[in-house]
Amino acid sequence: MAKAVEISMDDLVDLFACYQQEEHLLPELLRVVEADSRSPLRKRVVDLYVRKSEILTAKSSEESCSIADARLNIDNELSTFLSRHADIDSGAKRCAEAELWRSATLLASRQGTSQIDVVRVLIRNGSKQSATAGTSTRSLMITCASNLDWSELTDQEVGVLISLLCEWQASLNSIAHHEICMSVAIKYAPRFPKHCSILYLISAMYIISDKAVWNQESSAVHRSISCGINGSVAITSNGQLVTWGDFTNQQHRPLESTEVNKTSRKTPVEVASSPKKSHAQQLPHPVHIEGRPRFVCCGAEHILVLTTA
């Protein structure tokens, strides 16, 4: 389209933005950046993902679960893109306002001056957003709060944030998140002793209670990582299940004779032009499951996960 009307892609994005339709250009921008990783258009990608997330807010509240899942997918896509382009460091506050917490945390960590802005968005919108948020989103919000700097917050702001952390870790009921909150309390205790002592006490009580229940209810051996023929699975420090590799087992299935003959007749040009297998499915990605994973075992095509409530 840009070539047809003799306009640059950058100007075309601005034109679409005038009508709040710029997100439709995202696939083309990603294609351009994939072909040229140094393209200036890479710095427009964050805004387009943010716009894509903002559109979800206008949808009916009856679709809150599907909206939350869609927003998580947007956040995962953007954070994956950002991990490949470490020079992009702007847009953290906009990501936070659009509830893209993983991306907001990543961008804010690259630019220290924006950390306080992201934390304040979390304080201002955290209660409302967590009301409709799923487990994964609350986990990302805790991660955001724990990884960014609080030093410029007022005592009142810290009080609100501590209340949110207490609420979120209670709903997640995960030792990993309780320990994260306890670490935050220890870190900021010298600056905010009153609020941090409350967070420390509540987190410690959850940890003691949770470990006592676990010791009483289960004597199963804990296994947090397993490797199969084609892929692997692990339980992360924050209690998430992560898989990577290829569980289709295609590379170990015997080729039929017709396929072998067909391959043998290919010309050098045909072989060179054959599509390469995508490695996207081989990258680590989280898998949501009900309960807390305790034991994992990885096979060629399947994963066994033992969980507790």
257 — pLDDT class (breaks 50, 70, 90)? very low
3-state secondary structure of 139: helix
Tokens matching residue 195: 């609020």
Q: Indicate whether 191 belongs to any domain.
A: no
Stated pTM of the model: 0.66
Enumerate residues 6+ apart whose C-beta is below 8 A from 221: 295
Flag whether 59 is in a domain: yes
Domain total in the chain: 2
Query: Where does a domain end: 55, 78, 108?
Result: 108
117 has a pLDDT exceeding 60: yes
- 55, 85, 108 — which closes off a domain? 108
* 189-228 pLDDT per residue, tens: 999 999 999 999 999 888 877 655 555 444 445 677 887 7
The reported pLDDT for the residue numbered 256 is: 45
* Assigned domain for 212 exists: no
Q: Is residue 171 part of a domain?
A: no
Asked if 88 and 42 count as a contact pair (C-beta separation under 8 A), the reply is yes
Rounded to a whole number of angstroms, the CA Rg of the chain reads 23
Residue identified by tokens 């609080």 is 150
Q: Please indicate, yes or no, if residue 83 is contained in any of the structural domains.
A: yes
Show which of 76, 108, 140 is a domain's final residue.
108
208, part of any domain: no
Q: pLDDT per residue over 36-52, tens digit each?
A: 988 888 999 999 999 99
Taking only the tens place, the pLDDT of each residue in 141-190 is: 999 999 999 999 999 999 999 999 999 998 888 888 999 999 999 999 99
Tell me the range of 93-97, 175-179, 262-266 where mean pLDDT is highest: 93-97
- Tell me if 36 is assigned to some domain: yes
- Residue-range definition of the domain harbouring residue 293: 220-245+283-308
Strands 285-287 and 241-245, by their bridges, are antiparallel
Q: How many CB atoms lie within 10 A of CB 37?
A: 10
Residue 291 domain flag = yes
- Averaged confidence pLDDT in the chain: 81
Q: What share of the chain is helix, strand, coil (3-state, %, to 5)?
A: 60, 10, 30
